[in-house]
Each structure stands twice: as C-alpha cells, then as structure tokens.
C-alpha cells in the first residue's frame, strides 16, 4: 500500500483541481475561502508526493509524468480563473503560461534526444512562488481592498515572474549546450 501513496497524492491534486475549477462557477457563501483551502491542500500534495516517492524509493513513470502535468494544470487553471478579477495585469499570466509551455517544449525535445534532464531547484522554488502568488490573490478576493494583502500579491507576482524566467533560462542554456554538440 505504501508504494501507492505518492501516486494517490498526485491523483488527489488532479481531482482537487477539477473541484476548484467547478467552485469558481458556482455561487455559494465563502466560495473563495473554500477554494483557498482546497488550493493549499492541493499544493501540499505536490510537496508530499515526490518526497514520499524518493524517501520510500517508489518513484514511478506515472508519478514523474502526472506530478508535473497536474502542477501545471492546477497553476494555469488558477491563472485563467483569476484573470477576470483584474488583481494583476493579464500580460503577467500570459508571460507565466508562455514560460511553462516553452520549458515543457524544451524538456520534451531534450528528453526525446536522450539528454539527461532533471528537475531544477529553481523550478521548484518558482512553483512555490506561484503558489504563494495564487494564495495571496485568493486572500485578496476574500478581503478585497486590503493593502497588505495586495502588497503581498505584487511582491509574490514579481518574484514568481523573475524565478520563472530564471528557471527558463537554465533550461534554454541546457538546450543551447546540447544543440552545440
């Protein structure tokens, strides 16, 4: 049973993402509080699934593929769902989604050519900064007009953007070095 826990956590993140998307379209009291709670839980599963898989030596192809996929689906879905609320300019979401697609394309190409690609620490830090950015944006929807929360949105958004493109630069550099061979 223990060997399945990491993949179960990954699947829970996928299911929670669907629930969060649905909740954005229903009108219930405290909707954003519920979404925030579910988003935090989904984000925590991202940390736990990989950690457990490595610790217990039960890493799987399923986990490697779907962990990354569900991370992107969760974050990009929230970017799209938060866009109409005009908390941050839309071009920021576009820049972040563009980065995700660019890096995925580079990684897929390099993997198809047999290049060794492993997750970068900067990519994990970027992911957590995007999670913080989304948490602060949801908090701003819960307590609109709060200047402290909005300040946290601005800072976390700037940091997420910087880290996203720093991480992308690392992949582009790897791509460039590989292509020179």
Most confident by average pLDDT, 46-50, 54-58, 114-118, 151-155: 151-155
Q: Which domain holds residue 51?
A: 1-85
**What's the confidence (pLDDT) of residue 65?**
84
Matching residue, tokens 């956590």? 9
CA distances from 128 to 38, 43, 123, 124, 163 (A): 16, 8, 9, 6, 10
Are 76 and 94 contained in the same domain? Answer: no
Are 94 and 146 members of one domain? yes
What is the tens place of the pLDDT at every residue in 135-155? 999 999 999 999 999 999 999
Tell me the C-alpha distance between 96 and 87, whole Å. 15
Q: What's the whole-model pTM score?
A: 0.93
Mean pLDDT value of segment 55-79: 92
Q: What is the CATH number of the domain that holds 49?
A: 1.20.120.1760
**Range with the poorest average pLDDT among 61-70, 89-98, 132-141, 146-155:** 61-70
Give, in degrees to the nearest 5, the angle at Cα 95 between 92 and 153: 30
Residue 13 sits in the same domain as residue 81: yes
Q: How many domains does the chain have?
A: 2
């Amino acid at each position: 049973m223990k060997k399945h826990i990491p993949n179960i956590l990954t699947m829970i993140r996928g299911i929670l993402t669907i629930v969060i998307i649905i909740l954005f379209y229903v009108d219930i009291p405290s909707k954003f509080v519920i979404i925030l709670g579910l988003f935090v839980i989904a984000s925590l599963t991202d940390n736990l699934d990989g950690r457990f898989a490595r610790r217990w030596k039960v890493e799987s192809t399923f986990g490697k593929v779907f962990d990354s996929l569900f991370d992107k689906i969760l974050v990009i879905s929230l970017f799209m769902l938060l866009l109409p609320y005009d908390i941050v300019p839309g071009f920021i979401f576009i820049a972040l989604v563009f980065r995700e697609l660019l890096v995925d394309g580079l990684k897929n190409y390099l993997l198809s050519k047999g290049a060794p690609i492993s997750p970068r620490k900067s990519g994990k830090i970027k992911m957590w900064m995007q999670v913080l950015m989304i948490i602060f944006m949801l908090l701003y929807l819960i307590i609109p007009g709060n200047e402290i929360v909005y300040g946290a949105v601005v800072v976390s958004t700037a940091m997420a953007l910087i880290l996203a493109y720093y991480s992308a630069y690392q992949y582009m550099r790897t791509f460039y070095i590989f292509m020179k061979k």
